[in-house]
Structure 1
């Protein structure tokens, strides 16, 4: 069973964009492993709250211009 896990900043994608990401990821995995995996492919999108992630001692907060509209 293929499993893809995305961790994204909260509010960075709309519901429609998340659905598109799930469909495209499923299609990618089906392209690699064959149609037999489609019914068992899991795509999980986890949203991380502002301040809940960082790199090299820098805590990230998503700027308003990058937040999903809609």
Structure 2
């Protein structure tokens, strides 16, 4: 079963963007493996609490990155 797990900072994706990610990822797996994998493809879009993730030994927040949260 193809599986993708995306993690994004909480508040930067609205419902439409999440759906788009799911559709495009599913289409990518179908293109690669064939149409028969569509019903078995799982795409998980997770939101991580602001400040709950980091890179290069630094905790990141939306404010530090200059990103304004969207309304979900």
Normalised to the residue count of structure 2, the TM-score between the two structures is: 0.87
Q: Which moved more, 1:6-15 or 1:60-69?
A: 60-69
Does residue 68 (structure 1) correspond to residue 66 (structure 2)? The answer is no
Long gaps (5+) in structure 1: none
SS in structure 2 at match of 1:5 = strand
TM-score, normalized by length of structure 1? 0.89
**Corresponding residue pairs, total:** 70
Give the 5 Å matches for 1:50-61. Answer: 50-61=50-61
Q: Greater CA deviation, 60-69 or 4-13?
A: 60-69
- C-alpha separation in 1, matches of 2:52 and 2:67: 19
Gaps spanning 5+ residues in structure 2: where? Answer: none
SS in 2 for 1:38: helix
Q: Paired residue for 1:34?
A: 34
